[in-house]
Structure formats: C-alpha cells, structure tokens
Structure 1
C-alpha cells in the first residue's frame, strides 16, 4: 500500500488533506482514485489508514479509516556524522542511511574536507532532506530522518557528549571491532549512538586522538579499506545486527 507523509497540521479531526508534490504523484503517476486506501504518516510517528474522498489538482482529501499501530523504527537511535564527501556521494549516503533506520545525518567539515564555491554544499540541505523523505516512503519508515546543517569538527566534539556510545571506524585500527565494543557495554544502557565517518582521505591522526579523548570507540571494519560512502552503511548495519534491530529475532 502506498505511503505518504504530511505535516501534522494537515490532520483535522477525521480528515487529512494532502497538498504539494504528492498530489500530482497520486493522481498522475500512481493513478489513484476516490475510494482507494493509502497509509498516511503525520511526521510525528503516528500513522493512519485513510480512504481518498476527493482528488483535485491542488489537494487530495482523505478520510481516516483507522489509526495504524506500527513502528518500524530502531529501539536504538543512530546518528550519522559524515565527513563531507565530494560530488553527489552525499545523495547516496542520505538515501541508504534512511533505509537502514538512521535518525539523523550531519555532514562534518574535518581537516581533509575541501569546500569549494563559497560553501555551495551548505545549499544542498533541502535536496538531501527531500531524498530522505522519498526514501522514508519507499522503506516504510515511521519517521523521516533529518539532514542537519554541516558542522565543524569542534562542533562534532560538542554534540557527541549527549549520546551513550560513539563509534569511529578507522583504517589504521586493528583487531578491536564493533562486536567487542558491544560486548563490553550492557546493551540495555545503549539508547543512542553516534557513528562518525571520515571523508575521502580519512581522518588526521590528531582528529582520532581528540575523538579518543572524547571517549569515542575507535574500531576496525575489517582488513579492507572502505570508501567513505560505504563505511557508514557497514558500521550501522553491524551495530543494528549486534543490538537486535536487523537480521531477525532468532
């Protein structure tokens, strides 16, 4: 069944009014019609089964059939801090991080990040959030992850103080992996995790030292060096597997 996200203000009593780009998608691409049922999420974790009552070129009016008791989110909140990559790699990172269940994605300007064109990258936030929205529809997320404004490395050090666990994959680290880290920490105590991924070219040694001083767990993801757009996916998948969110219950 098709799923759409609307602003909480669009829910009025027993009716939901869909506007914006989704309207054209509903009647022109999906060719839905009056009486068809869809799932609608209010961007606040609440989901409804609704019936289409009226379709115009500017809005789709739906009537709530029932509230749906569904939560596809991970019990552990993962936050990805991504060293700013070149070109369109961030598009892929946002899309796949959304599919994996990450709660937020924050680009980080580390020592080896090159920002050109007067911080042009900062203007891509709207596009990245739209990618997160479309990916959330596709993978049936209960919320839409937020792509944040880029921050400096010092800003990163400040933000990670509020999470329960910080994991930093590093190509020069040997032996200690995610399984070891999870084993030494009671999983019930882990409610939020920051994953910090270096940019193309990796971290400076000084940055790794500062992260270690900030109590980050520096880990290896294996003997092969992964690209910056791959490392975050692998790290998130391993963490979620160890904590029971993906891979099944048995």
Structure 2
C-alpha cells in the first residue's frame, strides 16, 4: 500500500479526516498512481502514528480522506542516532542519506571539515542542497515505512559540530589510527546509551587537529576494523553495528 507523510495539523481526529495538500503528493496520487475515490493509502504523521485512510474526494490541490484505522507505529528503533557526516564529493551524500534513513537514523548533520572538497557558495546554495537532501530522506522514509522522517540539518563547520554533544549519551568518531578500541568495547562500557552521535570524515578522513579537538570535546575515537572504509560506507557501517547491538536490526 502506498505511504504518505502529512503534518499533524492535517489530521482532524474528531472528524476522522485527513487532508493531503502537499503539491508533490497530490500530483503523485493523481497522475502517477492514478488513485481514485475509495482507494486506500497509508498515512503517517511523522510522529510515529499511522493510519489507513480512504480517499473521499480530490481536486487539483487537495485530497481528502476518511480514517479507517489507526495505530502507534512500530518501525522506529529504541535508540536515536545522529550522523555528523563530512560532506563528500558528487552524489555520495545522496546514497548516505538514503541508506542511513533505511537503517533508522534520526538526524543527519552535513559537516564542513578541513579536507572537505565541496564548496557551498552561500546560504542560498546551502539551503537548496539541504532541501534536495531532505527530499531524498522523505522518499526513503516512505519506502521503508519509517514512523518519522529524519531531519537533514544545514551544514556546519567541524569546530561547531563537536560542540553539539551535550544531549548525547555517547559520541563516537571512527578513526583509522585508532587500533585498540572498537565499537564492541565502547558499548560494553556504555550500557544504557540511547542517544548517540557518530562523526564521519569526508574523503581523506579527518585531520589530526580535528581528531585532537574531538577528543578534548569528549568524543571517543574508535576503530571499525582493519580495513579503511570509504566515507560513503563508514557511516552506515557504524550505524548498522549500533542498530544491531542496541536497536532493532536483526529482530529480537
């Protein structure tokens, strides 16, 4: 069944109605899926409540639906993970966002580091790129039936990103020169961690000064194993391990 996200305010519980007014969703329902009155779709409010609703009416800009069934979602992991991703070249960020959304990421923060090659000219270009990245997260969340849509934040420089750790139980930075402490060892020491931040460098990794700055901020360097992983692989490798150990990946 096709799935769509709507704002909470578009769900009128006392009237058992839902309104879809996002132009892209309206166009997709009418012109691509060619759904009609009486057809059913899945609706999620982005806050982990889910609905089955039937189309009651539609016009060029609005689709109205009647709620048939609702329930609390069960597809969100019990841990919240934020990926601080050094911005890579080309379309690698697209893949990172898509796959991390599928795996259960909560938030992605693009980070500008000393080895970042991509140049974001001004705030307008940043906002435009983030808008496109957010659409990728939206589509991936629909496809894998997430209960929330991960937030893609505006880019920030590394020195600012490492200040954003006070709300985490644990913050990690995979580093190729760290050989003794792995994720398993850290997780054995941090029982009960539910809010975790992961810092991944761009092509070429982090500079030594950045690693030292991260350590001083309280971020823990870890190894992901004996092989050097690409930037587009490292983030969702770490995320997969964390989701397996602490989340719901692999089942109960």
Partner of 1:58: 61
Is the Cα–Cα contact under 8 Å of residues 81 and 196 in structure 1 kept in the other structure?
yes
| 8 Å contact kept, 1:54–1:62 | yes
In 2, the alpha carbon distance for the partners of 1:161 and 1:110 equals 21
Conserved? CA contact 1:71–1:142, under 8 Å: yes
Q: Which runs of 5+ in 2 are unaligned?
A: none
Asked whether the equivalents of residues 109 and 153 of structure 2 are also in contact (C-alpha less than 8 Å), the reply is yes
For residues 115 and 91 of structure 1, the distance between their equivalents in structure 2, rounded to whole angstroms, comes to: 14
Matched, 1:133 2:135: no
Q: Deviations over 1:194-237 (max 9, x none)?
A: 01001111111111111112222211111111111110010000
Alpha-carbon shift at residue 115 of structure 1 (Å): 4.1
Q: How does 1:168-247 map to 2 (within 5 A)?
A: 168-186=173-191, 188=192, 190-247=193-250
Structure 1 residues 55-94: aligned runs within 5 Å: 55-94=58-97
Contact 1:115-1:121 within 8 A present in 2 as well = no
Distance in 1 (alpha carbons) for counterparts of 2:175 and 2:119: 26
Residues in 1 aligned to 2:84 and 2:247: alpha-carbon distance in whole angstroms: 22
Structure 1 residue 108, shift from structure 2 partner: 0.7
Query: Aligned equivalents of 1:176 and 1:104: distance in 2?
Result: 25
| TM-score for both structures, normalised by structure 2 | 0.93
Structure 1 residue 121 displacement after superposition: 4.5
Partner of 2:35: 32
C-alpha distance in structure 2 between counterparts of 1:147 and 1:184, whole Å: 30
5+ residue gaps in structure 1?
none
Match of 2:103 among 100, 117, 129: 100
| Alpha-carbon distance in 2 for matches of 1:34, 1:115 | 47
Cα separation, 2, equivalents of 1:62 and 1:128 = 29
Identify the residue that residue 2 of structure 1 maps to in structure 2. Answer: 2
Q: CA deviation at 1:122?
A: 4.8
Over the aligned positions, Cα root-mean-square deviation in angstroms equals 1.4
Distance across 1 between alignment mates of 2:224 and 2:135: 30
Q: 1:148 — aligned with what?
A: 153
Kept after mapping to 1: 8 A contact 2:78/2:247:
no
Is residue 21 of structure 2 the alignment partner of residue 16 of structure 1? no
* CA positional deviation for 1:56: 2.4
Q: Is the 8 A contact 2:79 2:247 kept in 1?
A: no
TM-score normalised by L of structure 1? 0.94
Q: How many pairs does the alignment contain? A: 247
Q: Distance in 2 between matches of 1:27 and 1:140?
A: 21
> Cα deviations across residues 29-71 of structure 1 (Å, max 9, x unaligned)?
2222221211111222222111111132322110011212323
